[in-house]
Amino acid sequence: MKLIPISNDLFNIVNRLKSINPNYQVYFNKELCRFEVHCSTQYPNTLAVIVPYDQLDARTVSLVEQSRSEHAERIFRQLDYHNQLVEKHAVDDAVNNGMASIERALSKGEISL
Residue 64's nearest CA partner among 11, 16, 113, 8 is 16
Q: Quick one: pLDDT band at residue 107, thresholds 50, 70, 90?
A: confident
CA distance 7 to 2: 16
In sequence order, what E strands does 2-69 have?
3-6, 24-29, 34-39, 47-51
Per-residue pLDDT, averaged over 41-49, amounts to 89
Average pLDDT, the chain: 88
10: which residues sit within 8 A by CB, 6+ positions away? 56
Element (H, E) at 38: strand 34-39
